[in-house]
């Protein structure tokens, strides 16, 4: 009896027979679709590192890696998920003011998630050196003449960031050119400049202060010993 009452509330007995069954089926389909849409909003998760926390020593200490990955990056992921949930609610309510208000949190935390995911991916205990011969190295030599000139440009740009931010080697697909640029805070390179991010150097103090104190140049110079040029090259190929 209880089931019949519930059934009648969901599907008022307007008609009997096949038409009523169609009415039930239609309402159920809409409910399933709504549940599916909710399920499609998959939560972002912290990516696993392809190496141990101590693998990048002596260039980046295990203490920094553990704090940077499991605390700082995890916080960006958590806050991004919260912001996206609030955004979904605001969009459902057509609350334009709230939608606009949430953009800053999504930009900051989404950028933090994107930037750090690229950072971990393009570092390796077997890194350093120069890119292998191929399209990326050819373009570096074409635009910077020498690899050392690229290294100098990205190092100076990263060290020179005022406050917190990132130094980037980006690819301009339209111009088929490489560019060294900086982004403030956690602004993501692609969304901010249109450049495809190949490699970034995190110059937030949390990335180096425990080990290098306030000597940012020493940290940036150390990064060159652990850049995974194989990964950077794969990113370049994906951008073409």
The domains located in the chain, with CATH, are: 62-121 (1.10.287.990), 135-239 (3.55.40.20)
Residues of the chain under the 70 pLDDT cut: 1-41
**2 labelled as ligand-binding?**
no
Residues 196/237, Cβ–Cβ less than 8 Å: no
Q: Cα separation of 208 and 64, whole Å?
A: 7
**Nearest 5°: phi and psi at 91?**
-70, -40
Question: In this predicted structure, what is the pLDDT of residue 236?
Answer: 98
Decide if 171 contacts 178 (C-beta within 8 A). yes
* pLDDT tens digits for range 32-80: 334 334 445 689 999 999 999 999 999 999 999 999 999 999 999 999 9
The predicted structure's pLDDT at residue 99: 96
Question: Within a 10 A sphere around the Cβ of 141, how many other Cβ atoms?
Answer: 14
Dist. CA 142–CA 152, nearest whole Å: 16
Asked if 150 contacts 144 with a C-beta cutoff of 8 angstroms, the reply is yes
Closest CA to 204 of 182, 226, 225, 178: 182
Structural tokens at position 33: 């679709």
Instruction: Please tell me whether 68 is known to bind a ligand.
Output: yes
Query: Is 69 assigned a ligand-binding role in the annotation?
Result: no
pTM beyond 0.85: the answer is no
Structure tokens, 217: 């140049």
- pLDDT attached to residue 42: 86
- The annotation status of 113 as a binding-site residue, yes or no, is no
167 beta partners: 182, 201
pLDDT digits (tens, 9 = 90+) for 100-109: 999 999 999 9
Residue of 73, 84, 74 lying closest to 107 (CA atoms): 84
């Amino acid at each position: 009896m209880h089931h019949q009452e519930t059934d009648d509330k969901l599907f008022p007995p307007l008609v009997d027979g096949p038409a009523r069954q169609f009415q039930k089926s239609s309402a159920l389909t809409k409910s399933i679709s709504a549940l599916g849409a909710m399920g499609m909003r998959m939560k972002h998760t912290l990516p696993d590192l392809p190496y141990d926390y101590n693998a990048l020593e002596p260039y980046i200490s295990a203490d920094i890696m553990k704090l940077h990955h499991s605390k700082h990056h995890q916080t960006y992921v958590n806050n991004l998920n919260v912001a996206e949930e609030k955004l979904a609610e605001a969009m459902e309510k057509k609350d334009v003011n709230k939608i606009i208000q949430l953009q800053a949190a999504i930009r900051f935390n989404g950028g933090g998630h994107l930037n750090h995911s690229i950072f971990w991916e393009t570092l390796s205990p077997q890194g350093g050196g120069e890119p292998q011969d191929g399209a990326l190295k050819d373009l570096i030599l074409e635009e910077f003449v020498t690899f050392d000139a690229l290294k100098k440009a990205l190092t100076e740009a990263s060290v020179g960031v005022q406050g917190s931010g990132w130094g980037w080697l980006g690819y301009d697909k339209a111009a088929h050119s490489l560019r060294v640029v900086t982004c403030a805070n956690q602004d993501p390179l692609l969304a901010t400049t249109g450049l495809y991010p190949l490699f970034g150097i995190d110059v937030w103090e949390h990335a180096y202060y425990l080990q290098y104190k306030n000597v940012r140049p020493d940290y940036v110079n150390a990064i060159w010993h652990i850049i995974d040029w194989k990964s950077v090259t794969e990113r370049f190929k994906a951008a073409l």
